[in-house]
């Protein structure tokens, strides 16, 4: 029963993440979102594979193009968690002490969790718990990654 929930909700939450990502980035000729399909081999579950979308977001704001990658995978380490969207940069990032930087650091260090039992959601781990991911979180992170002078 849990496995059927995980497979269905994984796909739904990846679609939700895609919508949040596109909302956060808007339309800009200097930003490109590339999606690719990845199939994970699965052990210890009733499904042998899990096919997910991955995202690479490339920006041409600076002298050298910069890419942020988001890669979903199964992850059951926290209560009610069944997945994680990992975040990685192909450029150096030196965080400051702003609220936006805290969000950017959390995305890089802990990713976005996929959680739920009967209803699933994307959550961002924060001090003392988690909170629902919103497009503004992604906007903040991309602003400090790409637009900070």
Average pLDDT over residues 128-135: 93
Torsional sign, CA 98, 149, 92, 59 = positive
Taking all residues of the chain, what is their mean pLDDT, rounded to a whole number? 93
* Predicted local distance difference test score (pLDDT) of residue 15: 96
State pLDDT tens for residues 89-110: 999 998 888 899 999 999 999 9
Q: Is residue 126 very low, low, confident or very high in pLDDT (cuts 50, 70, 90)?
A: confident
pTM score, whole prediction = 0.94
Instruction: Give domain limits for the chain.
Output: 2-147
State pLDDT tens for residues 69-88: 999 999 999 989 999 999 99
* Predicted local distance difference test score (pLDDT) of residue 62: 79
CA distance 91 to 107: 15
Q: What is the DSSP letter of 129?
A: E
State pLDDT tens for residues 24-81: 999 999 999 999 999 999 998 999 999 999 999 999 987 889 999 999 999 999 989 9
Q: Is the pLDDT of residue 148 over 80?
A: no
* Predicted local distance difference test score (pLDDT) of residue 149: 55
């Amino acid at each position: 029963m849990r496995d059927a929930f995980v497979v269905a909700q994984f796909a739904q939450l990846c679609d939700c993440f895609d919508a949040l990502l596109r909302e956060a980035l808007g339309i800009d000729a200097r930003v490109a979102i590339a999606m690719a399909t990845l199939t994970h081999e699965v052990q210890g579950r009733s499904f042998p594979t899990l096919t997910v979308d991955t995202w690479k977001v490339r920006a041409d704001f600076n002298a050298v193009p910069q890419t942020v990658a988001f890669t979903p995978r199964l992850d059951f380490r926290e209560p009610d968690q069944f997945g994680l969207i990992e975040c990685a940069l192909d450029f150096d990032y030196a965080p400051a002490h702003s609220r936006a930087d805290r969000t950017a650091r959390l995305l890089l260090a802990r990713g976005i969790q996929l959680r739920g039992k009967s209803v699933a959601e994307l959550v961002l781990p924060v001090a003392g718990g988690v909170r629902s991911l919103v497009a503004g979180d992604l906007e903040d992170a991309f602003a400090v990654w790409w637009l900070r002078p």
